[in-house]
Structure 1
Amino acid sequence: MVSHGRGSTMEHSASCRDLSTMRERFDCLTEAYTCFLMGTCPSQCVACVIFSGLVPGEDRECAPSENRRVNRAELSYISVTLVEKITSNLTSRSLSPAVTLYCVEMLTVLFQDMDLMSLLMQHFQAEDQIISHLAAKTVSTWVLYQLHKSGTVSPVWQKKCVQAFYISLPGPELDKCLWSLTEVLKRLLKGAHREILGKLLSAFDSSLSTLCSKFLPKERDKTTQCLVDLPSSSGRWGTTFCLLLDLLELLTACSVTCGAGICLESPRMTYVHSSALLMTISCSSEYFVKKRALLLLKRAVLQKAGEDWSLGEGLLTGLKHKHFDSDMSVLSQSVLTAMATDWLHSVQVESSSFFGGTRCIRGEEDQKPDCVMLRAVSLLLLKSMELHIQTAGGTAGVDSATEVSGYLQSLWGFLRRCSVQLTENTHRCCWVSLLFGEQDDDMMETAKALFSIFLHHRMCSGLDDVAVLEAACASGCNPHCHFLLLLQSISFDHSILLDFLISTETCFLEYFVRYLKFLRADWQGFTAACGRICSPHMQQSVTALCAADTLKVTCKGEPDRVKFSSCAQSTGVTSQVGRVSLAAGFHLVEYDSSDESDPENMEVSQDEPAASVCDKSTFSALDVKQEISGPPVPIRQKQYEASDSTVLLSRPNSTLERRAEGPSLPVLQSEQTSGPNMAPQPGQVAWETLARAVICMSELREVVTRLQTNKLFPYNPSSLLKLLAQVENYSKLSRLLHFNK
């Protein structure tokens, strides 16, 4: 048995000095590492060996100088790795009591008696990037251990980082300080340690504000412009700047976690410096910096900062700090102000990246554009417009509708410049499915934003229903077209809609409820849209979505063009939207009943506590609640002009009275079908689209009803079911009205 008192620790440390060669020290540390993996204590204390592995010194082993260098590096690597492993295990409390006591005593010797923290931070500037990174990782782990154990911030680490932030000189030391603080914040956010987060942010608030003011000045002068664009410093600046952007995203996520108690500047810096970030996107010489800054702004406007790091339930607190509304307003106004000054013309979009880098254009070969950039620009603009509309409220008029239309036209010009334009006759509403077809969450956010924009234009333009829908199609924001294209993209599979509804993401639920209420008030517009999207030129655009190479970047000097591939289906798209998996816990939105039903709340099932995520989006679940429980919208009896729209209401023996055999059917045939060698008539195709859409929603209602009956649905869907039933009733009523004429 080995005694683990403080005296014995120092005794073992002294005995380790007898290890004369690096090989002996390396073997000693390897044995200790193996013991920790097996959950046992090493035969001797290795604190002195670890420390000696990090202190530069002469190797007493007689060997060539090259071997000494390699051995010294290997000894340093295993020394730092062992400290990180021990500290991490202590933080997670995964060790036995005996091993825990051994590790605590050894770390006490290293960090208190030997001042290992100062030595590790010296390695932040090491030329060897491996040891530099391992040192930063170990320092971060020790800082977390101290925060969890005593709630105190390491004074050595804090002093070094604050000094580097105030100096703000791009280089290895600043890079490692940024990375270390980001790592600590990331780990704290995953555990939702709100009090510790507040204490840590307070310690760095002033220095971080200074750092951001230097890297993201409100007005760039010659000095700051040179810092960004000098070729000699652009590589180092780009690395440092991206690390700063990572930190800004974590700080933005902290503002959600800390909630109403936040009164610091640093968590708000993404919003405060949004204009400078937009300028970076247009002016930076490094494309990866532009892209990273754009993605930060996109996540900020969507309130999804930190989602790529799987921060978990810590971000779903639903709390807003007191500056939340003003910060979001600042961000949206910064974007729209930049739009007014032709910011989009300066946004660079390169060819799409792939594993290993970015393809270079050769000769006449067309390239795919970077769709990540295109989606980010589109979402940033659309969500900013939505926020602007919500801020204006009922004070908006015709001028506001014209302003919003101008922003949409600017976006279309940007997409055309990047060669995302479709054929000349293409319906612009296709662009949502074309650009966002592989990103479920982004597509839903886009559809929801465009729906808000459409309702705003409908209210402010002063046009009648027919003119409003025509203008919406011209701007690419007709909600009927978007919904039908969504159904086509999933082959009218109700099970995918069910996946969306039971997901922890509430965006589709909010969008779906709002759209269903609008649909029951504008059924004729929906039938007209079925005819519109089934027109030949529309089908050419829709079927092009199944081609893997739809989006192309044109070569220099060549006119913009898009190449389409043939698609097997004539009324649907083969590309599938990825399904959303059902998470363990549900934090779904609560909303009241439809207009005709008694008030009743959407509640989480008995097995899960009710939790609202109304603050996840600025157009939140509270808005959905008001939208549903408000006064009923009268159905306006208008005649819509659309190709073969009258046929949609006049076909007898409808397939609505029959069940579809399955979502995999390429076309839902009516009883009166054309021959095998005859092309389907436009009216027939339009009718089949309408029938498939209604059957899809009917099947969704039936399966949700069964789940609710068996108490398997995660919340009370009664209001949603009533809306779906009303859609079916309007479908039947419209046919009866036509037949009785």
Structure 2
Amino acid sequence: MALTACCREGYTISERFDCLADVYRCFAMGSCPSRSAADVADVIFSGVCALVPREDRGSVAAEYTVDLTRISLTLLEKMTSCLTSQSQPPEVTLYFTEILRMLFQEMDVMLQLVHQFKTEDQIISHLAAKSVSASVFYHIIHHKSVTVNPVWQQKFVQVFNSSSPGLELDACLWSLTEVFKRLLKGAHQEILGKLVAAFDLSLCALCSKFLSERKTLTQSLVDFTSGQHWRTTFCLLLDLLEVLTASSLMSGAGICLKSQRITHLYSSALLSTVSGTSDYFVKKRALLLLKRAVLQQAGEDWNLEVLSSGLKYEHFSSDMSTLAETVLTAVTANWLESVQVESASFFGGTRHITGYEGRKPDCVILRAVSLLLLKSVELHVQTAGGTGAVDSASEVYGYLQRLWAFMRQCSIQLFESTHLCCCVSRVSGEQDDDMIEAAKALLSIFLHQRLCFGLDDPAVLETACASGCNPHCHFLFLLQSVSFDHSMLLDFLISTETCFLEYFVRYLKYLTVDWMGFTAACRTFSMSHSHPSVQETLTCSSHGDISALPYKGQPLVEKVSLIVRPHLVEYDSSEDSSQETMEISEDESGASVFDKGTLSALAMKQETTGPQISIKQRQLSDSRGLLSKSKSTLERQPQVLNMATLSGKVTCETYVKTVLCLSELREVLMRLQTKKLFPYKPSSLLKLLEQVQKCSQQSQLSRFNK
């Protein structure tokens, strides 16, 4: 240390800037600087400590010292990250390794780094947090051990137990979140579990201050919300909670600590944050955390290398049940009425919605609220099973009516239709994943309602439309959102997400036992689009009639034009692929089934390009040519489109589009299965699609016999 002190006094501010600049240039070029590792370590250390040489004291402006500290911290973080990624030549790696050894072992730079957390300069505080995170992660990976710097651990425990919102706590929260996230991304679950255990008690103590279980939000946060740093600190805490929640999903059947369950255990306080906090951004972040927790999607945007094994920790079911019941209890207590929804964000910012303004509401909030409630209801009915019968069904109906009333209150224009099944589709917009999650939850809710009322009760579908959970309507809205394109359904099926597969299989099973209900839903769907300006009174039942639901104003959902949508696989880029033409069959009298506008919509083939998926990428790329057909499905199966002329009635456009879409999907799946190019065995799915096709054919025969 004596030598280091002498070296520090030997460099002027200008010489230190030159030294750091030289190291930066060599770092970018992948070469070793001319100065020794000891000299570079000394300059970085003096910059981190903000030390000023004697000869420069009084003559150097404060901003030069600040700049030197920022550059030193940035260089330290870049060197550490570079060593972690092993992106430099061996000689450069050895050079930087020696610098870090001297800094952390001989100079104890960690003590100086954590000291910078509470500096008034926010940039320096954040750069220090980045340097600490990078160095901690590097030493964990390099030594393959959970042993961390004791100065770092002690500082964090101390801050979590005693600090109020401020720069020091912010830096600690961000730094720990970054370390946890890197370990989670790198599939170091065992090390992550041990590291979480080291901070478990202090994290629980910290959350008890921000998320009190026994006190109201105002009482528990009275000392915090008045400070200017509360907003940032609370959002950083929410980020940490998401990482902890994601780590619990990745832990499998292993031990799950209390800090990893905080989102579920403190869900009541988080709901109070959504309804009681004055800051809209904090409300939104808390609501999105709850949404990801109930969907089991925490950390979904982080490109995790290892997906969840499917095994759940011991208290998982009880935690999910706790979350669901907390949400439903809050909804019963009029929680929805206190949820603030501003206008959708735009380049000019946001503003509150008042009265009947034309601006669209913040659909991110609406989607989060709807999914949170729908998934909670789904968990509730799954836990309750078939018990309760009509009482349980009435309870579920009440939750749904509260949700639709909340959504209609937020936007009269968006939900002016009395057909409640369209609400989810309108809120989801282009967010197909949210629409699928909502449709899946509503299907489970509907099947529970069906069980309560009786399988053959003709009022089931009428009640379903009245409560906005008719599964046929939701499936049709989903198909409409992808322009009835079977290749988009294939994208969903071969993606790494299993939500659509689970939903699709379950819906097809129900479709085969309620074909008449599906036909009625198609007719309702088509007529509502064919006559948008005329109020219709329709009757929908399981016997093929249409539900008594008036429609006025615009259609249920704006018609989706056949715009270019990116596919996961480039279906039409194969050499074997040809431009697909679809010809519409006509009967002997020459009467066309559809008008020209409908034909062009059915005939349109989307030619898109997009990133390919990682699942069996080579096999799928070879299968692109299989998706083009020399003859159209319509050309080979004219009876599908001739069903209307057989019965002498106008063809239901939606019915034909849906049956055609499922038929094309079945053919593609069969070809991919034959070539062994599908990522999993689709046998069960193909059987269901075959049953659907048989139902369609039987429906045609019954119409012909009439």
Instruction: Please classify the TM superposition score into its range, dividing by the shorter chain length.
Output: 0.7 to 0.9
2:180/2:192 contact within 8 Å kept: yes
Query: In the alignment, is residue 188 of structure 1 matched against residue 183 of structure 2?
Result: yes
Take 2:229 and 2:7, find their aligned partners in 1: how far apart are those partners? 41
Query: In the alignment, is residue 495 of structure 1 matched against residue 437 of structure 2?
Result: no
Query: In the alignment, is residue 725 of structure 1 matched against residue 690 of structure 2?
Result: yes
Give CA-to-partner distance per residue, 1:13-40, whole Å, 9 cap, x none: 6785475421211111111122122222
2:164 aligns to what? 169
2:603 aligns to what? 661
1:426/1:537 contact within 8 Å kept: no
1:438/1:578 contact within 8 Å kept: no
1:574 Cα shift?
2.1
1:78 Cα shift?
1.6
- CA 1:539–1:169: 2 relative to 1, 3 Å: farther
- CA 1:539–1:439: 2 relative to 1, 3 Å: farther
1:297 Cα shift?
0.4
**Paired residue type of 1:209:** C
- CA 1:396–1:578: 2 relative to 1, 3 Å: farther
Q: How many residues align?
A: 627
1:355 Cα shift?
4.1
Pairing partner for 1:30 from 21, 34, 41:
21
1:263 Cα shift?
3.7
Query: In the alignment, is residue 528 of structure 1 matched against residue 528 of structure 2?
Result: no
> More deviation in 284-293 or 392-401?
392-401
1:430/1:541 contact within 8 Å kept: no
2:278 aligns to what? 285
1:715 Cα shift?
1.2
> What is the TM-score when the length of structure 2 is the normalising length?
0.83
Unaligned runs of 5+ in 1: 1-8, 543-561, 584-650, 675-681
**Paired residue type of 1:164:** V
1:552 aligns to what? none
1:165/1:174 contact within 8 Å kept: yes
**Paired residue type of 1:227:** D
1:260/1:320 contact within 8 Å kept: yes
> More deviation in 415-424 or 275-284?
415-424
Give CA-to-partner distance per residue, 1:567-602, whole Å, 9 cap, x none: 9x99x422769556369xxxxxxxxxxxxxxxxxxx
- CA 1:356–1:257: 2 relative to 1, 3 Å: farther
Paired residues for 1:189-338 under 5 Å: 189-220=184-215, 223-227=219-223, 229-230=225-226, 233=227, 235-310=228-303, 312-338=304-330
Take 2:6 and 2:57, find their aligned partners in 1: how far apart are those partners? 24
Query: In the alignment, is residue 50 of structure 1 matched against residue 44 of structure 2?
Result: yes
Pairing partner for 1:99 from 92, 97, 114:
92
1:573 aligns to what? 560
1:125/1:132 contact within 8 Å kept: yes
2:670 aligns to what? 705
**Paired residue type of 1:224:** S
1:540 aligns to what? 532
2:537 aligns to what? none
Take 1:278 and 1:223, find their aligned partners in 2: how far apart are those partners? 15
1:357 aligns to what? 349
Give CA-to-partner distance per residue, 1:518-558, whole Å, 9 cap, x none: 1111111111111111224786399xxxxxxxxxxxxxxxx
Give CA-to-partner distance per residue, 1:47-98, whole Å, 9 cap, x none: 1111111223445566996x62222122112211111111112222223332
**Paired residue type of 2:320:** M
2:238/2:289 contact within 8 Å kept: yes
- CA 1:463–1:258: 2 relative to 1, 3 Å: closer
- CA 1:142–1:14: 2 relative to 1, 3 Å: same
1:316 Cα shift?
2.5
Take 1:429 and 1:739, find their aligned partners in 2: how far apart are those partners? 32
2:546 aligns to what? none
1:671 Cα shift?
7.0
Secondary structure of 2:301's match?
A: helix
- CA 1:426–1:367: 2 relative to 1, 3 Å: same
Take 1:541 and 1:724, find their aligned partners in 2: how far apart are those partners? 36
- CA 1:424–1:36: 2 relative to 1, 3 Å: closer
Secondary structure of 1:483's match?
A: helix
- CA 1:458–1:238: 2 relative to 1, 3 Å: same
Take 2:362 and 2:308, find their aligned partners in 1: how far apart are those partners? 31
> More deviation in 29-38 or 183-192?
29-38
Paired residues for 1:379-390 under 5 Å: 379-390=371-382
- CA 1:463–1:168: 2 relative to 1, 3 Å: farther
1:39/1:95 contact within 8 Å kept: yes
Paired residues for 1:667-682 under 5 Å: none
1:713 Cα shift?
1.2
- CA 1:106–1:62: 2 relative to 1, 3 Å: closer
User: Aligned-residue CA RMSD in angstroms?
Assistant: 3.2
1:90 aligns to what? 83
Pairing partner for 1:69 from 48, 53, 62:
62
Pairing partner for 1:471 from 460, 463, 468:
463
Take 1:270 and 1:724, find their aligned partners in 2: how far apart are those partners? 40
**Paired residue type of 1:179:** W
Bigger relative contact order, structure 1 or 2 (CA pairs below 8 A, ≥6 apart): 1
1:315 Cα shift?
3.5
Query: In the alignment, is residue 372 of structure 1 matched against residue 364 of structure 2?
Result: yes
**Paired residue type of 1:408:** L
**Paired residue type of 2:29:** M
1:159 aligns to what? 154
- CA 1:716–1:472: 2 relative to 1, 3 Å: same
1:398/1:462 contact within 8 Å kept: no
Give CA-to-partner distance per residue, 1:283-309, whole Å, 9 cap, x none: 111111111000000000000001123
> What is the TM-score when the length of structure 1 is the normalising length?
0.79
Take 2:264 and 2:354, find their aligned partners in 1: how far apart are those partners? 40
1:435 Cα shift?
0.8
Secondary structure of 1:454's match?
A: helix
- CA 1:453–1:18: 2 relative to 1, 3 Å: same
1:178 Cα shift?
0.4
Give CA-to-partner distance per residue, 1:654-674, whole Å, 9 cap, x none: 78xx99534579xx9967999
1:489/1:574 contact within 8 Å kept: no
1:424 Cα shift?
5.5
- CA 1:563–1:108: 2 relative to 1, 3 Å: farther
Take 1:131 and 1:578, find their aligned partners in 2: how far apart are those partners? 44
2:478 aligns to what? 486
